[in-house]
A = this chain, B = another copy of it.
Amino acid sequence: MIAKHTLQAAELLAAPRGASGHQRAYDYVRGQTQRLIEPLNPEDMVAQSMVDASPAKWHIAHTTWFFETLVLKAFVEGYRIYHKDFSYLYNSYYNSLGERMVRGKRGLETRPTLDEVLAYRAYVDEHIAALLLRASNDEALLLRVSPFLTLGLHHEQQHQELLLMDILHLFSHNPLFPAYQSSPPTLMRDVPPHRWLDHEGGLVEGGYAGDGFHYDHEGPRHRCFLVPYRLGSRLVTNGEWLEFMDDDGYNRHELWLDDGWGWLHKNHVSCPLYWQRVDEQWHVMSLYGLMPLNRHAPVVHVSFYEADAYCRWRGYRLPTEMEWEHAASHYPMQGKFLDSGYYHPQVADNEDYHQLFGDVWEYTSSAFQAYPGYRRLEGAVGEYNGKFMSGQNVMRGGCCITPQGHMRLSYRNFFYPSMRWQFGGVRMAADVD
């Protein structure tokens, strides 16, 4: 049931058809955001726990501002913006779109209240509906609106994931360990053994292929030469990570990148981000609150530095993003995404044996850089991805809180190597000798 539902959603979002298709896609995404904030109270939605995170209220206002700015202001003549100060409040990082608040102060905006922000959402939804109604009789208009509306929907899906990441990070600072969701799923099973899957490589193609929606940096499609390589059949587990810790992995400089070794000492890192010792037992803070650590489940919330050190400790390495994409291209894009209703990575099972998609974002060794032939877009849209091509690493495959309709084989997510609040995990790779 779920699968069918989300596949429809994926189709809806990749290439919505007609004005009504756009409206259905819009309703689907906007409705999902609304459902995501249901377990929160207004107070939860105010706070910002670090400069990289944002308050939940900000996310739902910002995504609305995105539609107002790129769609309504652009395509509705005489459109009256909802509030003159909202652009200042809810612009994230678009230099092209004017002045904005200092990022680290978002948690101070107790006003507008949640109710006011919801009214803003309703106002924009209403005007989008009116615009699409008009476009149902004006194909030229629809053609012009469609790319921006569709971008807005994918943008909002990204913020759905961010909203959950940020709530978890916020709640992790609370000594009461609040749960976003009660009743964690109890898939109790042993993880299957780790095996190597070999790939021939050679001159392969990578990057987005097709004509649906995708981000600019997923292309152009291009050729790339891969030496024979192997990928682990499954993700690294919490139990395996404990072996790394027991073998003094966090104290052995020879396993670490120099930047990582500095980061680790400066921040006193000695375990994954949300791990805690309670009554002599390892627990993990999650969207289900504090849970005992499941040794069979995939490790999550480690940094690139930690992922890299772990692989070196095992005598292996991380895959490059082209290795990952090439290998994954042989499998259907199935896995536990947000729509599956799991808010924490689960133990691998037969159905999604490889866990290539969903559960956790997988680290690659590849720096986030332009593909051959890539050109940064002009204007605000050009600030979406291209300006971040420095100092970050690519992650692949989506995670348990990524909306399925948002994911693609060619999807490139990117984070700085010290970041850990994203749902990042590890799959090993190796050379074929």
Contacts and interface: CB of A to CB of B under 8 A. Distances in A.
Contacts of A312: 376
Number of copies: 4
B258 A101 contact: no
Contacts of A18: none
Interface stretch (A3-11, A87-95, A150-158, A274-282): A87-95
A227 B372 CA distance: 7
Nearest to A417: B390
A260 B390 contact: yes
Nearest to A258: B387
Contacts of A223: 225, 227
A88 B176 CA distance: 10
A20 to B, nearest CB: 36
Indicate the size class of the contact surface on chain A.
Answer: 35 or more
A212 interface: no
A163 interface: no
Interface in A376-421: 376, 378, 382-383, 387-391, 417
Interface stretch (A39-47, A64-72, A182-190): A39-47
A108 B253 contact: no
Given A44-B110, A108-B170, A258-B388, 13 more contacts: A43-B110, A43-B111, A47-B107, A47-B110, A96-B253, A96-B254, A111-B174, A203-B203, A222-B225, A257-B389, A258-B390, A305-B390, A391-B391
Interface of A: 41-47, 49, 85, 88-89, 93, 95-96, 101, 105, 107-114, 170, 173-176, 178, 203, 222-227, 253-254, 256-261, 304-305, 308, 312, 317, 365-367, 369-370, 372-373, 376, 378, 382-383, 387-391, 417, 431
